Structure 1
Amino acid sequence: MPIGARLEKKLNKVYEPSSRIDEIFLGNDITIMTNERGEAVHLYIGERNEDGSIRGEHYARRIVREPGSERILKSHWDNKGKVTRDK
């Protein structure tokens, strides 16, 4: 499942640094993990288990910055596959 434009717009926002955000987006449970700059770097999307984990898809963000700068040159979300956790 590719990341849609609406979800990517949400993921491009700056959040609290080094945090976990649990939300519901278009009927799917999502968990966003941020880096020390507050940028979303991991996305879990699917159905939330009782323990708070997600059963669904995992995406990881690759960020390329301008050397010596904080400016992002390129950003891409890679699908890392299915995630599950036994109950």
Structure 2
Amino acid sequence: MQEELIKKLSKTYEPSSMIDMRFREKDIAFKTDEKGNPIFLFIGKRGEDGNIKGERYARTLKYDNNGNKIKDHWEMKGKAS
């Protein structure tokens, strides 16, 4: 993923919600966890049915016992349709 997109996805958004926006020439949608961190990402072109056709990603976030982030990794999970 592009550094600029990673930076946008590192922000905190409304908890437990689906956020839709544009990133450059692509449509993106992501689901946030209970803390407002994006955890699922769909990126591509939005069709007439409202769904994004393109790629989907999942984020792994792990914290230590003190609440410090020890792992933050996005992994491509395949096609989004």
Q: TM-score, normalised by structure 2?
A: 0.94
The one-letter code of the counterpart of 1:8 is I
How many equivalent pairs are there? Answer: 81
Q: Where does residue 22 of structure 1 map in the other structure?
A: 20
Aligned partner of residue 73 in structure 1, secondary structure: strand
Q: Where does residue 44 of structure 1 map in the other structure?
A: 42
Mapping for residues 3-82 of structure 1, pairs under 5 Å: 3-67=1-65, 69-82=66-79
Q: Provide the C-alpha distance between the structure 2 equivalents of 1:12 and 1:48, rounded to a whole number of angstroms.
A: 23
Give the C-alpha shift of residue 11 in structure 1: 0.1
Between the two proteins, what is the percent identity of the paired residues?
A: 46
Runs of 4+ in 1 over 2 A off after TM superposition: none
Give the C-alpha shift of residue 71 in structure 1: 2.2
Q: TM-score, normalised by structure 1?
A: 0.88
Q: Provide the C-alpha distance between the structure 2 equivalents of 1:23 and 1:44, rounded to a whole number of angstroms.
A: 11
